[in-house]
Structure 1
């Protein structure tokens, strides 16, 4: 199975992402590689126990934007919700969303890294 088919199976809206880049699959794949590097730099653990969530919100917002631009839908939707929940002072709910998305996120990153 090729990378794009594998990503489709993981819920990534590949066709939408490629369309955003003028239909250029090669650029899309290159941008996915950049996305995985960014994810490693911006990742955070679900055990954030801190009353100042600004750093986490900032990282989650960056991940939301990058994943949205590439139509990495499961990641985009989860981080959109995490940002919303933290801004509404709901860290337990945000933690739950993060815990649920991490396995899918890791599968997506692994698929990209191993392509």
Structure 2
């Protein structure tokens, strides 16, 4: 909340925008295509967005994928996607519930 000046409404609005964020899907596609450069960009952006919104588990998982990709280790990055996928699903599920409660 510190990042958002204690403005819970602003945080909620920005967090809910994450439901439309395409970086995770783009990361999966880049990995499937073997496009390391695109995967690095997507993982880095996903990591940043998750970090800014304090989605800690997703941030940590995306950081590990990003680190592997920076080493150009596509196999390791792909192996690290399961925890990232699980964290992403958890965030999307929580945000969907929040949106549905509104």
Matched, 1:79 2:62: yes
Higher-RCO chain (CA-CA 8 Å, sequence separation at least 6): 1
Alignment correspondent of 1:48 = 32
Moved beyond 2 Å, runs of 4+: 44-49
What is the TM-score when the length of structure 1 is the normalising length? 0.73
What is the TM-score when the length of structure 2 is the normalising length? 0.81
> What's the Cα RMSD here?
1.7
Higher helix proportion (structure 1 or 2): 2
Which of 65, 70, 73 aligns to 2:53? It is 70
Measured in 1, the distance between the counterparts of 2:51 and 2:70 equals: 19
Q: Paired residues, what number?
A: 95
Which of 17, 27, 36 aligns to 1:34? It is 17
Aligned-pair distance for 1:80? 1.4
Measured in 1, the distance between the counterparts of 2:61 and 2:87 equals: 10
